[in-house]
Amino acid sequence: MRLEGTYTALITPFDKEGKIDEQTLVKLIQRQLHAGIDGIVFLGSTGEGSCIEEHERDLVTQIAVHELKGKIPVLINCGSPSTKRTVAFARQAEKMGADALLVTSPYYNRPTQEGLFLHFKAISDAVRIPICVYNIPCRTAQNVETATLSRIAELPNVISVKESSANLSQMADVVEKIAHKHPKFTVLSGDDQFTLPLMAIGGHGVVSVLSNLVPHAVKRLVSNAQEGNFDLARAIYYALKPLIHGAFIETNPIPIKLLMQFAGLCAATYRLPLCPASQENETKLLHLYQACNHLITDYET
């Protein structure tokens, strides 16, 4: 397996009672499949994975595998502050048929770089399916340094990194020092605003929040960048730029769920400690949606 192209970090829809809305989840998965998305990540930051109970993790994984197995890759996020718990999540995802794992570096504990390496080694030793490292220092309080990632990339089934460091210089180092030396290893943007810049310097795609709302548009942006059509990719990027900004005016996934509610795709319901957007930001997002609604219909036709 080679992780490249457009992957959607799918939201987890909840009903008014706060339970997982299974019917809506299936509809969202099928919408992504219809858009030609290359793979879907479940239970990540956008999927509120840290607030999902273990039996609910199994439910989401079961639905994902049922809908997508043999069509596009199913990636299950297994991030946890505890290595032991992360290994348990990883083994369960593998057992249930996931194609690959997204593994967030352990948050809250702030391990040393050696601790980070040993964490990923323990997971790699425990499963046989591919692993994508998820480096997101703004949520974990610890950066996976390039030298450490280089060691992790030597592990047998580590094949990619989702780079959310917001540091383009670091991303360039990862491309140059790791991806160029390991043909199996790919570098994916974990932040929509860096998708085009990262691909311009040799990155391989994105794990996108925005593609929850406009999967066709994000797919075309990435596909054109892959093909070297940077003029067209740049035009799409700038068309999407207001939505990219709007999707992060509050903590993800608060804004993207609200935008999706405006589009009639899901309810803007969350698990505490996440809560609805402020009235001011809800108004801003409504105006943004109205201004950018054509991006949904234009790219889907």
- Which residues does the annotation mark as catalytic? 134, 162
The CA-based angle 218-222-226, given to 5 degrees, is 170
Q: What DSSP letter does each residue of 121-138 carry, written as one string?
A: HHHHHH--S-EEEEE-HH
Taking the CA atoms of residue 74, residue 260, residue 233 and residue 191 in that order, the dihedral angle to the nearest 10 degrees is -60
Spatial distance between the Cα atoms of 50 and 272, rounded to a whole number of angstroms = 11
Spatial distance between the Cα atoms of 293 and 6, rounded to a whole number of angstroms = 21
User: Which residue's entry shows tokens 């509120």?
Assistant: 48
Query: Residue 285 in contact with residue 258, Cβ under 8 Å?
Result: yes
CA distances from 199 to 41, 48, 181, 222, 236 (A): 20, 27, 17, 8, 14
Lookup: tokens for 26: 């299936």
